[in-house]
Structure 1
Amino acid sequence: MPLPMPRLFLAFVCFFILSCSGSVPIQEFPVQASFDRDAFYFTKVRPLLDNRCVACHACYTSPCQLNLAEHEGIRRGATKIRLYEGSRLTEIAPTRLGIDAQNYVDWQKKEFFPVAGGGESSLMMALVKQRQINQAPVTQKSKESFLCPKDSGEMVDFLAEHAEKGMPYGLPPLTDAEAAIMSRWLQEGYPALSEEGLAQLALIKPEEAEHIKIWEELGA
């Protein structure tokens, strides 16, 4: 049986991944990007997120409250605040997208931190790279940590302790082509869609309309 990888070496690998990163403050990005942001988002980024990320990160109870199903959720980032905490006796403030905060500064006040800021050195890319390095299938339940690392220092410690928690967790890693798409989008500042793109996002596709009709008829 091969010996487990020494923790010191794991820490070195994590440090190498994050050597250029830091705690990147939430900031506004230029409206204009150096490429057709709408086309790139709809043809490359959105399909990638839908196919590889939103199975776990698409709702209010997502790990670290990171919602990758909505662009606003990506820009909001993650938080260490647990929605479910057995020792908590008082309520916590809700964190609903589009309702409880309207900009990045307000989300920071609610203890959210960026995961996409910093491009190639972002926390998101660090986890993607970690899964490419550690591709072994998860054969047993990972030790629960609930750490949600918020900066490069915490990420080094987190991956040294939980080397199997690269993303997508427990699934095949992103291919080099998929990782390149993610990296390019993040380096461009994961720009928001134009007004035309937002309008396109709001359109209901014919196949979606058919599913909606079926559900409405079931409830009639």
Structure 2
Amino acid sequence: MTEDNYRHQGLRNKLVKKLAEKGIKDDRVLAAIGRVPRHFFFESALLEHAYQDKAFPIGEGQTISQPYTVAFQSEKLEIKPGDKVLEIGTGSGYQACILLELGAKVYTIEYNRVLFERTRDFLPGIGYKPYFFHGDGSKGLPMKAPFDKIIVTAGAPIVPDALTAQLKEDGILVIPVGDRQRQLMLRIRKKGGKLIREEFDNFAFVPLLGAQGWGK
């Protein structure tokens, strides 16, 4: 489905209002959510699910993230136009679209080849063109480092050293860390070569796959 009509826009506006009520304060993030047609990521028969604030299966054991989670992580990244951003876990590509709407230059890496190929072929057709990579996201993307911001969209048991090493000075990493059931959202800033850690709400993400993830 690639039609974006008044009904869809109205549903998005309601979603944006709901996210604001749930505590998302960054007007740029809310505006980005309001611009990306989330229903493009769903089959037409599932339209009623597209603008509900919930995750939804996309195959391969993965989900399109809950809009609140996407907004929360995007807000914590403090994206500035022109920021070079690494996304670990392309998935459906919805989060990458939000980052692009915020003006970021997005490098996105996906471990699952089926999802990688599907999203690589799909996103340009709806007007979004991040740089796509297939591989182990827990290792980051050293050939394109360093990055202003790094976002991890899957639960990890630890913070991979490779990711903090690929952050620029004053850079920000947002990553959910914990066990398979629940993870704590962390924001890690690199200041003077040191890592400053902040903890936020609990979330539930699908597992990060790869060498430092939960396994292959």
TM-score, structure 1 normalization: 0.26
- Higher RCO, 1 vs 2 (CA within 8 Å, ≥6 residues apart): 1
Greater share of residues in strand: 2
Which one has a bigger Cα radius of gyration?
1
TM-score, structure 2 normalization: 0.27
